[in-house]
Structure 1
């Protein structure tokens, strides 16, 4: 009976995560953003700067930077969307084999449609459900994203400005002095490791996007800023994000340059940058301790993208890191934390 209760509770948790995604997404984003910026708040705190002041300046600066990126990239992205049919046509012209395959598929589809129309009753009325227009969908998405960002920034501000309030609440809730010290030590350790990881990986992804953007601009790729920002954001998706960036840059490069050999330079450059980042830079700056099991990473990305869509996919790995660090600090959960790790941990009993 207990196993059925556990399964039911598990399904209820998943359904709650899916049903409450609009409520939970900004909360998780705010939590991760506050952990990312907390090292900077602590740095200024050691120099007698109040947490409320440094948190306010950080949130204002972060929101202004994101707003500037959105403003600068909105025009090129709109042009890319408008030029999508032209880009598709150019790509088809370059890839003759794919073009012939698509044409055959379209021809077969047209024949099926014409045969269906021929056997249809002329007196039968067809009901067509009108879909919302592109402008109305874009306006709705922009409003939803704007609301999510506003809640995220405000909640992050309160979390950063609160200082040690949560740690004081934890201490007050534990009766014994020895337990207070242990809980406080674990809480500080978890917060320090997670914030270090998130801050470091954010800086690395930003530098990666900057290098890729400058490199693509020097190679003559149009809208290089957009691809640099895309590379930085998508790199929060291990493996999948890098592959998606390479494919997108390859498509744009193929339709931009006449020479196929020269067109392959841009995606090769992006691939090289991602290999250097993934194999050398990130392990050097973060160490091997927080490396994650590849299978666990893909499961996490699949799960959170299914629950929360694209924003869930971006949050999948940071959430997985949070879970792993928490598991590493509690003995009953260390086995699960070991599963999430990429390291092969040798048992202490064997030594």
Structure 2
């Protein structure tokens, strides 16, 4: 005979899995809703978040350059102004010859298109495919039916007139987009200066907030120091890798006689920050440009192979050697991150996708509840 207390215990034990399942389902629903809301907010606040994140990353990458000034006890605002001024001078001085090379490359595009058209015209005529024959038959049927149409008396024919191209509206739209881009670039530059000037101010504030116990403050200081070291080292390595790829690509292309070698070097350096996709685009672009310039497949393969060799050295030797003591990301996480941030923020999102993943990985490694996510991102 079962006692009443045993029956009550059995009933509670039977109901416990149902309560756990309901609790897990509600948690999963809240996580999904929070994720969707976060994605919507990131997309909606792009005009504010994107310049802020880019400025934070640039300041982290440039922060090691201020170490010699700190050893000389030079005030941080003054050393930050010197570094930002040097960066701005470098960008402006490099943009003048690069602009000329970009204009020269754009001028060659119509010539390249006409060259390809002439090559295609000299090629033997191929037999039309089934789809092309079906399209031609449908066009003939449509033309024959339109010719047999009889005008109905008393009915006015309607003719659709296309709206002419408005040059003034096009110029105004382009000017507004350029104005927004210039204002965002100026905002990024100011934010970079302010972040470099304040130095460790916000890290000290976070440590104070984590109090009041000394143990919590010490743990927060350790987390902030490791986080700062990981992110700063990773971004500085990315900057060095981009400079290496850009400089070596320019030198190699100049020796091979490739036109606009400086512009290709800059594009290769920027594209090296986009894993997988960036080197692939440079490989294809340099192959096409070399074929159009030299007219032979040998030179096209040589130029594209040179670009691939440089990016391979950077990706397989230089970057792993410089980041040997840092947390690493697995290839699946990097590829999914490229898809997500490229979808949200376009080309700039592709460039900052890997640093963002590195920041998230470093943060997850120090927060107990987020360590499963850090394990998914890591190798």
Residue 342 (structure 2) pairs with residue 305 (structure 1):
yes
Hey, what's the Cα distance between the residues in 2 that align with 1:305 and 1:39?
A: 28
Deviation at 1:212, TM superposition (A): 0.4
Say which of 247, 256, 279 aligns to 1:219.
256
Hey, what's the Cα distance between the residues in 2 that align with 1:147 and 1:179?
A: 41
Distance 1:114 1:3, change over 3 A: farther
Hey, what's the Cα distance between the residues in 2 that align with 1:276 and 1:95?
A: 37
CA contact (8 A) 1:41 1:55 kept: yes
Listed one character per residue, the Cα deviations across residues 64-108 of structure 1 (whole Å, up to 9, x for unaligned) are 22222332212221232233222233345567899979x989998
1:264 counterpart SS class:
helix
Match of 2:81 in 1: 56
CA contact (8 A) 1:51 1:160 kept: yes
Higher relative contact order (CA 8 A, sep 6+): 1
Say which of 167, 187, 190 aligns to 1:154.
190
Distance 1:130 1:300, change over 3 A: farther
Identify the range of structure 1 (138-147 vs 7-16) with the bigger mean alpha-carbon deviation. Answer: 138-147
Residue 373 (structure 2) pairs with residue 336 (structure 1):
yes
Distance 1:117 1:249, change over 3 A: farther
Say which of 29, 35, 41 aligns to 2:66.
41
Deviation at 1:135, TM superposition (A): 5.0
> What TM-score does the superposition give when structure 1 sets the normalisation length?
0.87
Runs of 4 or more off by more than 6 Å in structure 1? 95-101, 103-121, 131-134
Residue 43 (structure 2) pairs with residue 18 (structure 1):
yes
Identify the range of structure 1 (25-34 vs 65-74) with the bigger mean alpha-carbon deviation. Answer: 65-74
Say which of 278, 296, 299 aligns to 1:241.
278
Identify the range of structure 1 (80-89 vs 298-307) with the bigger mean alpha-carbon deviation. Answer: 80-89
Match of 1:259 in 2: 296
Listed one character per residue, the Cα deviations across residues 260-298 of structure 1 (whole Å, up to 9, x for unaligned) are 212321101101111111111111111174332111111
Match of 1:144 in 2: 180
Residue 160 (structure 2) pairs with residue 125 (structure 1):
yes
Alignment of 1:40-119 (within 5 A): 40-91=65-116
Unpaired stretches in structure 1, ≥5 consecutive residues? 344-351
Alignment of 1:266-277 (within 5 A): 266-277=303-314
Distance 1:275 1:180, change over 3 A: same
Residue 315 (structure 2) pairs with residue 278 (structure 1):
yes
2:299 counterpart SS class:
helix
Hey, what's the Cα distance between the residues in 2 that align with 1:82 and 1:99?
A: 30
1:83 counterpart SS class:
helix
Distance 1:325 1:90, change over 3 A: farther
Unpaired stretches in structure 2, ≥5 consecutive residues? 1-25, 150-156
CA contact (8 A) 1:26 1:152 kept: yes
> What TM-score does the superposition give when structure 2 sets the normalisation length?
0.81
CA contact (8 A) 1:198 1:318 kept: yes
Listed one character per residue, the Cα deviations across residues 115-143 of structure 1 (whole Å, up to 9, x for unaligned) are 76876796242555857777555534432
Identify the range of structure 1 (288-297 vs 171-180) with the bigger mean alpha-carbon deviation. Answer: 288-297
Distance 1:253 1:123, change over 3 A: same
1:238 counterpart SS class:
coil
What is the aligned length?
341
Hey, what's the Cα distance between the residues in 1 that align with 2:110 and 2:137?
A: 24
CA contact (8 A) 1:92 1:98 kept: no
Distance 1:311 1:106, change over 3 A: farther
